[in-house]
Structure 1
Amino acid sequence: MSTHARDEVDVVIVGAGISGIGTAWHLQHRLPGVTYAILEARSQIGGTWDLFRYPGIRSDSDMYTFGYNFRPWVDGKVFADGPSIRRYVTDTAREAGIDRHIRFESRVVSADWDSVSARWHVVTDGPGGRKTLTGRFLMICSGYYRYDQGYMPEFEGLSDFAGEVIHPQKWPEGHDYSGKKVVIIGSGATAVTLVPAMADAAAHVTMLQRSPSYIAARPSRDAIADAMRKVLPGRLAYTLSRAKNVALAMLFFNLARRWPDFVRRGVIKAIRAELGEDFDVERHFSPSYNPWDQRFCLAPDGDFFAALKSGKASIVTDHIERFEPGGIRLKSGEFLEADLVVPATGLEMQVGGGMDIRVDGEALVPADKITYRGMMLSDVPNAAIAFGYTNASWTLKIDLTAERVCRLIAHMQARGYDYCVPVPPSDIELAPLLDFSSGYVQRALPHLPRQGTKAPWRTYQNYVQDMLTIRYGALEDGHLQFRKARGDASHPVAEAAE
């Protein structure tokens, strides 16, 4: 590949978050002759970790697997706070010179593939007006949810409430909530993070949930990793710690799926040991779904349970009847006084950051597409989407996806192909993209691509299986077609071998 003009690059990366910066590193490291540009709608590096500023914001995956495989996480904290992760991503970009390739305040409006020239034409909007960037390959690293707003249910009487309502996605940094009665609506990772983070300064914090989630205490330090760092070279210690945590996560996930009742009893027993026999653990911590039908919520060093035991926080399992001026009336008749309500009610998922994507002028409808190896979409040429795991660290899959993209580009360079496109068989059997019962997933499923029931159209949630396939599997697998640009793109010059 080569660059023909200042407004044309080989690879266009959308998003300067953890996925975009990781992808850029792999491109530079594996394909040093390939040019690229990163288009970032915001003015800073970091993506999610720059957007979210609510109290206690942190990773809910351990940093030995959430960190990049090429840059060891050396902070020591297993679950890092948001600012630390933002610094980690920013430092990665600066040290590798990736930051020089970022075009900030460039919100991607549309991306249109032209099969005649085998190019993507990407239109951005920013302070300088609309601009077009042309690229051979499109890497979408814009995340899986809307940045402009989170999910907000319709609460009856909300306009009557006299206090503040702040969604975590819109949290103003430095907001003072000291001495206030806070009600956090939700039971997911954000709510479990907010409760201990706000408990000390607030007058009282109440977590109001319709139904419980699985919550597990985890040490904030990895004793084995700390010990290995003392006796082994840093890179080796990191690699071994990462492998250990990947293996343990996979073991626990498969254990939960195979023997859910056993895992459920273990989780409830551990919570009862934290809170004591007098706490109604069954009511507040026994979900109606099986373990890992939704993501586990993690409490570093049991901070969530410590906040409940201290009396500074409490948990209520009930449904909202309506908002009133002084707080929230529940269906049980109970009234929760509130000065500040934080609806930790989830995200709104979307594909491609909401941009208008077209292939030869035809609008892409995500629900009509099928995922190929969990990273490309059927009949969409020279484009990949960074989409992480639901049962493990996001970055594990992103590293693998970036490696596969580099292999694809190198393969096309070597063979003289201009583009590749996944083409599914006509008799493919389909399934929903995600097997997750979380509300944000269920709301989005009708609008998301689907997956097949067999490889390479099935999206596996298994790092080791993906690593072997994505890193070492054949590129020409009978499903990914490689073509040369020509006037009639419906007649490819070369297709993949069976």
Structure 2
Amino acid sequence: MEQRHVDVLIIGAGLSGISAACHLIRENAGRTYAVLERRTGIGGTWDLFRYPGIRSDSDMYTFGYRFRPWTGTKILADGTDIRRYVQETAEEYGVTEHIRFGRRAVRANWSSGEGRWTVETRDETTGETEVHTCAFLVNATGYYDYDHGHRPDFPGEERFGGTLVHPQQWPEGLDHRGKRVVVVGSGATAITLVPSMAEDAAHVTMLQRSPTYIMSLPRHDPLGVLLRKLGVPAGPVHRLGRSRNIALQRALYALCRTAPGVMRRVLLAGVRAQLGKSVDMRHFTPSYKPWDQRLCVVPGGDLFKALKSGRASVVTDHIDTFTENGIVLRSGEEIPADIVVTATGLRVQIAGGAELRVDGRPVTTRDHVVYKGVMLDGVPNLAVILGYTNASWTLKADLASEYIAKLLAHMDRRGFTHVTPVAGDADRAAESAMGDSLTSGYIARGDAVMPRQGTRAPWRIRNNYYSDRRALRRSPIDDPALRFGRTDAAAPREDRQDSAPVV
């Protein structure tokens, strides 16, 4: 059984994992590292999802890394462009050569006696087992199940004579040209699929149980385009666009939470402006307040254009049963279909489904509170990178990765080998780390596995970039909530002669 040891082991080579590796290099943490990725390519989510029209649902100034400018002008980028961006970032920082592809983390155990994690992996191609050991473990797998999306069992679906597909398992070569397509769902995936498939399909119907708030954005950033034409370098354009969009995201979210009635009228007026006075607003008027669920955005109003053209339509109803030729609704209406896409959401899991243990005892993630949104109380030398639910994922992933690198450098300087966040009883709350302000289905389903957040700082999760920037980038590493220790007579980094370089 092959065994390898590094100082830092990163699980996942998506946006978060590549960020973590790059920050180790940027902060000159002086640690050896490796990245384990179960897929055969870099990109994580953006390597997995291959459905038509796949794109970001956040603007690329904030969805891209702070340390590497996004040079495109599209506000919402295509999946292939995002995957390329992550791959090029990994190559630029020399991370690619440290990735072991096709390795799925099965279980990880921390040994207090040895002061290290032992991670058992399985080669996805051969089925062989490998053992990796590390001093510090970074989980960068996100929070959903890569193998299975959320898909309800529909009555009569076994009778359906067409193709039934979930976006997470999109078949290569699926031909929808000239076909009648029904997309079940109303979230970001559905509103991306509908206009993309409508270009070639006979007709596309978006079948939703309830509407979602939808806002149209320009396809390209007007200011970015102008500055590029004026010859302004990519770096300053990126920094300006990023600062502006962080502020706009925060302001929009704050307005939706503090003045929901006003923002409801604003968002619905935007839909009417796109579709005209004849639109049936029943299909676009949610029963909940703005940002009780994630706000959906469409570039250049592509969804609305598809609806106005007649190539697509929206139906708000519940499925009664599938038939051989389509779907019968509770109202009695039947929608004919050759292809049904179940864009019904995600299944949540932590650590990519790997089993976590401390000294042989199972770690039940739901029983632990999160320190600064990055580490689990009572679990030594473990970071779990979770992005924002109300802003771009990468904003938080970058802050967390930068903090991890600084924490490791601090430990090296002081000669510490392990660190454990310790929460008191008064710090613990029943609320999920994802908060209780959002009511999305995947958040409710994930409550059983998501760690908790606390009642106060540093255990309280604000989902606020400005607060997190202070807590993770500007606050001192030393904190009464952290317990540092040594498993041997380790000397501070500057006094050691055998410190290993990043390889």
Q: State if a TM-score over 0.5 links the two structures.
A: yes
Give the whole-Å Cα distance in 1 for the aligned partners of 2:483 and 2:304: 53
Aligned to 1:433: 433
**CA shift for structure 1 position 107:** 0.7
Letter in structure 2 aligned against 1:289? Y
Give the whole-Å Cα distance in 1 for the aligned partners of 2:253 and 2:343: 25
Aligned to 2:271: 271
Give the whole-Å Cα distance in 1 for the aligned partners of 2:127 and 2:5: 18
Q: TM-score, normalised by structure 1?
A: 0.95
Match of 1:117 among 114, 122, 142: 114
Aligned to 2:495: none
Aligned to 1:495: none
**CA shift for structure 1 position 6:** 7.6
**CA shift for structure 1 position 278:** 1.1
Letter in structure 2 aligned against 1:426? D
Bigger Cα displacement from structure 2, 184-193 vs 464-473: 464-473
Give the whole-Å Cα distance in 1 for the aligned partners of 2:426 and 2:227: 51
Give the whole-Å Cα distance in 1 for the aligned partners of 2:36 and 2:42: 11
**CA shift for structure 1 position 226:** 2.2
- Within-5 A mapping of 1:180-329: 180-229=179-228, 230-281=230-281, 283-329=282-328
Give the whole-Å Cα distance in 1 for the aligned partners of 2:369 and 2:377: 5
- Within-5 A mapping of 1:30-429: 30-31=27-28, 33-126=30-123, 127=126, 129-229=128-228, 230-281=230-281, 283-429=282-428
SS of equivalent to 1:427: helix
Q: Deviations over 1:68-124 (max 9, x none)?
A: 111111121111100111111111111221100000111111111011111010111
Give the whole-Å Cα distance in 2 for the aligned partners of 1:114 and 1:465: 34
Letter in structure 1 aligned against 2:63? F
Equivalent residues of 2:29, 2:409 under 8 A apart: no
List runs of 5+ in structure 2 lacking aligned partners. 490-503
Give the whole-Å Cα distance in 1 for the aligned partners of 2:172 and 2:294: 27
Bigger Cα displacement from structure 2, 405-414 vs 28-37: 28-37
Bigger Cα displacement from structure 2, 477-486 vs 134-143: 477-486
Matching of residue 464 in structure 1 with residue 461 in structure 2: no
**CA shift for structure 1 position 231:** 4.7
Q: Deviations over 1:165-199 (max 9, x none)?
A: 00000002332111110000000000000000000
Aligned to 1:22: 19
Match of 2:456 among 432, 454, 457: 454
SS of equivalent to 1:332: coil
Give the whole-Å Cα distance in 1 for the aligned partners of 2:106 and 2:149: 20
Give the whole-Å Cα distance in 2 for the aligned partners of 1:90 and 1:175: 26
SS of equivalent to 1:278: coil
Letter in structure 2 aligned against 1:299? V
Give the whole-Å Cα distance in 1 for the aligned partners of 2:61 and 2:364: 36
Equivalent residues of 1:115, 1:486 under 8 A apart: no
SS of equivalent to 1:94: helix
Q: Deviations over 1:212-260 (max 9, x none)?
A: 0000100011111222333533212211110000001101100110000
Equivalent residues of 2:366, 2:451 under 8 A apart: yes
Q: Aligned residue pairs: how many?
A: 482
Equivalent residues of 1:209, 1:316 under 8 A apart: yes
Give the whole-Å Cα distance in 2 for the aligned partners of 1:429 and 1:106: 35
Give the whole-Å Cα distance in 2 for the aligned partners of 1:253 and 1:19: 23
Equivalent residues of 2:188, 2:296 under 8 A apart: yes
List runs of 5+ in structure 1 lacking aligned partners. 488-498
Letter in structure 1 aligned against 2:472? I
Letter in structure 2 aligned against 1:475? I
**CA shift for structure 1 position 429:** 4.1
**CA shift for structure 1 position 433:** 2.1
Equivalent residues of 2:3, 2:133 under 8 A apart: no
Task: Please give the root-mean-square deviation of Cα atoms over the aligned residues, in Å.
Answer: 1.4
Equivalent residues of 1:215, 1:299 under 8 A apart: yes
Equivalent residues of 2:20, 2:398 under 8 A apart: yes
Letter in structure 2 aligned against 1:16? A
SS of equivalent to 1:7: strand
Equivalent residues of 1:117, 1:486 under 8 A apart: no
Equivalent residues of 1:321, 1:331 under 8 A apart: yes
Give the whole-Å Cα distance in 1 for the aligned partners of 2:446 and 2:127: 34
Equivalent residues of 1:16, 1:45 under 8 A apart: yes
Q: Deviations over 1:16-54 (max 9, x none)?
A: 111111111111121252110000101111110000000
SS of equivalent to 1:279: coil
**CA shift for structure 1 position 432:** 2.6
Equivalent residues of 1:116, 1:486 under 8 A apart: no
Equivalent residues of 1:370, 1:450 under 8 A apart: yes
Q: TM-score, normalised by structure 2?
A: 0.94
